Amino acid sequence: MRQRGSGAGLRQESLPDKIHRYRGVIVVFSVPLLLVSFVLLLMPSYPAGPIAPVGRKTAPGGGGDAGSKSYAVIFDAGSSGSRVHVYCFDKNLDLVHIGEEIELFVQKKPGLSSFAKEPQEAANSLIPLLQKAESVVPPELRQRTPVRVGATAGLRALGNEKSEQILQAVKNLLQDKSSLKFQPDWVTVLDGTQEGAFQWVTINYLLGKLGKTYSDTVGVVDLGGGSVQMAYAISEKAAAEAPQISNGEESYVRKLLLKGTTYYLYVHSYLHYGLLAARAEILKVGDGDSNCILDGYHGSYKYGDKEFPASAAPSGASFSKCRSDTIKALKANEPTCTHMKCTFGGVWNGGGGDGQKNLFVASFFFDRAAEAGFVDPKQAVAKVKPSDFEEAASRACKLNAKDVKGAYPLVSEDNIPYLCMDLVYQYTLLVDGFGVEPHQVITLVKKVEYGDAYVEAAWPLGSAIEAASSA
């Protein structure tokens, strides 16, 4: 038996000798490897990166595949006009572009309520908007795209019979002429709290606030033509202590689950206190002549199917007298409050709190501020104070109607006689109605920046989010 030694006396085995000694093992392992390599060589090659599923196309610009997109078409049938919004969402419910725009937005005047005696004409007024909306929805997605019509305060003010006739005509139109997904109960008169809640969801969604604590959200005041809504998130404790409503109206508090977070939303809508409706309420206070109509104007004001005398008082408009009339119209000083804190007309104010401290104010507030010249109409948002409306009103009330265009070139012809009234009303609504401090900074908002685009700060987006979530 040979003994192993050490050092240089050991013979080193060469590579050929090793190959020869293990040739059987090498053959066993090499044959399968050669077969696998041969199969891989015959397989077609694919480009690097994600592979689109069969039957779906990847959207240009990295927008994801078309099958993951969903659309929603929402009609806002307001008192001053009809508007259509079309939104496109990805699978995460984030907005994506429709062509070059983040949404389709088209509007048309007058509103449905202007056709109180012609329901078919009311429905027909939506046809151009419907055609435009359908044109931007891909044909293969139209039958899956919900179309909803939300009528607001203008139709609410007409009463049940007339509003139902108009709504039925709109339902028939969508049933017969639309290629979109439609259900009759998707055409409805929104109650004010729905409108206010959707508006709150819209603005907080666009600001990226949803999913955060209620104190990180913003409060919203939305001044439409027929009604005004206030909505803001409150604590669970404050929600539990909310007064009960016994006259059949909607509850003050709505519970919402959004992005995994539960919110208790204080929301109330004041019918007859939108800007156009409030003009009628203020004109009722006078005896024919009004302290709020600009000097030199004599005429009448039509709201809905009623007309009101609208002529200047002999001495012209007066800021202080107009403000007194406006407070009476708001019922701001009437002792009807049965709760600890009220806004006006005996309505609970929600108790205040962190959800209200950052206030976003939308719709006609922005429009009149732009016409009065203290915000830039080309900007989407503006920081102002209620006192800015007071100062603008004080100047406007001194004018003669024929001099308004020279002083305020952006005011439309229809609004000239009511410039003093509108600005006084907006200041009074904020300060005496909602209890906002005159020098508190608030944000006037027309559109909200969202990524590289701006989106209309309007309730239809909130409705679209709900529709897309349940589609």
CATH number of 66-190+457-470: 3.30.420.40
Neighbour order of strands in the sheet with 381-384: 253-258, 261-271, 227-234, 219-223, 359-363, 442-445, 381-384
Average pLDDT over residues 9-18: 46
Q: 66 pLDDT band (50/70/90 cuts)?
A: low
Cα–Cα distance, 314 to 295 (Å, whole number): 8
Residue 60 or 361, more confident: 361
pTM value > 0.95? no
380: Cβ contacts below 8 Å, ≥ 6 apart: 445, 446, 447, 448, 449, 454
Residue 231 or 54, more confident: 231
Q: Where in the chain is the domain with CATH 3.30.420.150?
A: 193-440
Average pLDDT over residues 160-188: 95
Nearest to 236 by CA among 207, 219, 215, 216: 215
Q: Which residues pair with 400 in a beta bridge?
A: 295
Residue 334 or 415, more confident: 415
- Among 195, 281, 371, 390, the active-site one is 195
pLDDT over threshold 60, residue 40: no
Q: Where in the chain is the domain with CATH 3.30.420.40?
A: 66-190+457-470
Would you state the pLDDT for residue 398? Answer: 97
The three state secondary structure string of the chain is: CCCCCCHHHCCCCCHHHHHHHCHHHHHHHHHHHHHHHHHHHHCCCCCCCCCCCCCCCECCCCCCEHHHCEEEEEEEECCCCEEEEEEEECCCCCECCECCECCEEEEECCCHHHHCCCHHHHHHCCHHHHHHHHHHCCHHHHHHCEEEEEECHHHHCCCHHHHHHHHHHHHHHHHHHCCCECCHHHEEECCHHHHHHHHHHHHHHHCCCCCCCHHHCCEEEEECCCEEEEEEEECHHHHHCCCCCCCCCCCCEEEEEECCEEEEEEEEEEECCCHHHHHHHHHHHCCCEECCCCECCEEEEEECCEEEEEEECCCCCCHHHHHHHHHHHHCCCCCCCCCCCECCCCCECCCCCHHHHCEEEEEHHHHHHHHCCCCCCCCCEEEECHHHHHHHHHHHCCCEHHHHHHHCCCCCHHHHHHHHHHHHHHHHHHHHHCCCCCCCCEEEECEEEECCEEEECCCHHHHHHHHHHHC
Q: 10 pLDDT band (50/70/90 cuts)?
A: very low
pLDDT over threshold 80, residue 332: no
When the pLDDT of each residue in the chain is averaged and rounded to a whole number, the result is 85
Structural Rg of the chain based on CA atoms: 32
Residue 192 or 129, more confident: 129
pLDDT over threshold 70, residue 55: no
- % of the chain exceeding 70 in pLDDT: 83
Nearest to 69 by CA among 53, 58, 54: 58
Q: Is 195 a catalytic residue?
A: yes
Would you state the pLDDT for residue 251? Answer: 85
Would you state the pLDDT for residue 36? Answer: 32
Would you state the pLDDT for residue 50? Answer: 28
Neighbour order of strands in the sheet with 147-151: 104-108, 82-89, 70-77, 147-151, 187-189
Cα–Cα distance, 206 to 387 (Å, whole number): 28
Q: 467 pLDDT band (50/70/90 cuts)?
A: confident
Average pLDDT over residues 336-360: 85
Would you state the pLDDT for residue 304? Answer: 78
Q: Would you tell me how many other CB atoms lie within 10 Å of the CB of residue 6?
A: 6
CATH number of 193-440: 3.30.420.150
Would you state the pLDDT for residue 336? Answer: 67
Would you state the pLDDT for residue 61? Answer: 32
Would you state the pLDDT for residue 124? Answer: 96
Q: What is the pLDDT of residues 116-170, one digit of tens each?
A: 999 999 999 999 999 999 999 999 999 999 999 999 878 877 888 999 999 999 9
Burial code (b: 16+ CB inside 10 Å, e: under 16) for 335-362 equals eeeeeeebbbbebbbbbebbbbebbbbb
